[in-house]
Amino acid sequence: METKKTLKVSALENGTVIDHIPADALFTVIKILDLDDCVNPITFGTNLDSKKFGKKGIIKVSNRYFRKEEVNKIALVAPTASLIEIRNFEITSKQQVEIPDVVEGYVKCINPKCVTNHQNVPRKFYVVSHQDLTLKCHYCEKFTKKESIQIL
């Protein structure tokens, strides 16, 4: 006799599901969204099988919806992610994250001499490559590759 074991996670009544996160980026997404300080129930899984990506991560956050700036932060570290908003157990919207053309306010310039690291100047970067994610500082014109991006 064969028995199947399943683990069920309760459906989300209200909140957001962040799906298709690269497995190695899951904890970075949790950190940049400050979910480790969130008081709402959170469910997450990593290294889950995915036909499209091999392995993926997923985060369910009850009673929380993300602002555009937060979605843009997700896009920088998990460009394959999608956000699903749930209200009364129903999907109300689903969107694929997109890397913006301009990143303002939440990325630190890697150039220690950049004015943004010494004065109260708004941080601003232009995305010069979406494919391999390269940012260019508006002020010092220093290029920052994906692996060096520091999200504030």
Asked if 120 and 143 sit in the same domain, the reply is yes
Each residue's pLDDT tens digit, 59-117: 999 999 999 999 999 999 999 999 999 999 999 999 999 999 999 999 999 999 999 99
Counting Cα atoms < 13 Å in the Cβ hemisphere of 82 gives 10
pLDDT confidence of residue 2: 58
75 and 23, same domain (yes or no): yes
The residue count of the chain comes to 152
Q: What is the CATH number of the domain that holds 28?
A: 3.30.70.140
> Quick one: tokens of 101?
């053309």
Query: Whose CA is closest to 66, among 22, 34, 107?
Result: 34
- The whole domain housing 118 covers 102-151
Phi, psi dihedrals of residue 44, rounded to the nearest 5°: -140, 155
Output the domain CATH number for residue 145: 2.30.30.20
Last residue of a domain, one of 55, 70, 96: 96
- Same domain, yes or no, for 30 and 61? yes
DSSP SS3 for 68: helix
Residues 128 and 65 occupy one common structural domain: no
- 23-42 confidence digits (pLDDT tens): 999 999 999 999 989 899 99
Let me know whether 81 and 20 are in one domain: yes
116 and 45 within one domain? no
Closest to 82 in 3D by CA, of 71, 91, 95: 95
Q: Give the mean model confidence (pLDDT) for residues 42-60.
A: 88
| Residue 119 lies inside a defined structural domain of this protein | yes
Q: Do 47 and 62 belong to one domain?
A: yes
H helical segments located in the chain: 26-32, 68-77
Which amino acid is located at 127 in the chain?
Answer: V
Question: Domains in the chain: how many in total?
Answer: 2
Three-state SS at 112: coil
Q: Among 96, 113, 136, give the residue marking a domain's end.
A: 96
